[in-house]
Structure 1
């Protein structure tokens, strides 16, 4: 079967809300701290973990080049997962709705190098996909016992041909 085309749409907090949180600085800080030398933008993502704890990991991800084949998505039923670029690299957030345990209605967003995302529990999503350059990321997700990874391989893959 021929691959299915997947278009990339602009990333906004409203467009991404069904899948997670867009983490970016907007407006003025919520609070000024550290003797007036630091602005705090407070509680920008809903971290959600069952039977475990939050952990911080570094991911060193290789650049992906067009066309990008999306042949698999995954989800984590026991915790949210935040991706925070350290090197200012853009990346794709590929997400899907769930239909009785199967991913449907894939969407793709470009996440700017000054933006981050937090995927909510159970959201189908593509693998980490830096574009334009390889990149390092801080990943905040659940650490604990139990199976927290489910993969779905598409019979007919999707292809992103342009951003």
Structure 2
């Protein structure tokens, strides 16, 4: 099964969380004597009600072999997780709706234009970081705290083969 890669838009990604970009700011205004534009409240951070705290990290990803195989998915049941590319690099996003382990036909794939990031909503199934360029750094905002905030599942094979991404676009 080959998974089609879609452009990343706020409307298409809404069932899974929020797109992070200047275009998704809930407010925009000048600060610092008019020399800086603040794109305010672009995405919300959900750290749950159980003593979690928001943290900021940097992840450095490396490309996977082509064709990219989607063999597993993960989710974070206690908090959201945001990814923002630091060098304007495109990256791929694979997500699935629902709370049950995702079936391959329920997967959706998106590509960021390099100026967009994503916030995965709490409990949304997603594939770990899928970068296209060596040493791709991302600013990550997520939850630290008590409890198990990671579930992983292996995806079943389709006709004896793993799901692959239609990337480069095929």
TM-score normalised according to structure 1 size: 0.91
Looking at structure 1, the residues matched to 80 and 23 of structure 2 have their Cα atoms a distance apart, in angstroms, of 23
Looking at structure 2, the residues matched to 5 and 20 of structure 1 have their Cα atoms a distance apart, in angstroms, of 24
Higher strand share: 1
Q: 2:2 maps to what in 1?
A: 5
Give the unaligned 5+ runs of structure 2.
none
User: Aligned-pair distance for 1:69?
Assistant: 0.1
**How many residues are aligned here?**
159
Q: 1:61 maps to what in 2?
A: 61
Give the unaligned 5+ runs of structure 1.
none
1:65, 1:131 within 8 Å by CA — same for their partners in 2?
Answer: no
TM-score normalised according to structure 2 size: 0.87
1:48, 1:121 within 8 Å by CA — same for their partners in 2?
Answer: yes
Q: 2:165 maps to what in 1?
A: 160
1:64, 1:132 within 8 Å by CA — same for their partners in 2?
Answer: no
Provide the alpha-carbon RMSD of the alignment. 1.7
Q: Does 1:134 align with 2:135?
A: yes
3-state DSSP of counterpart to 1:82: strand
2:62, 2:133 within 8 Å by CA — same for their partners in 1?
Answer: no
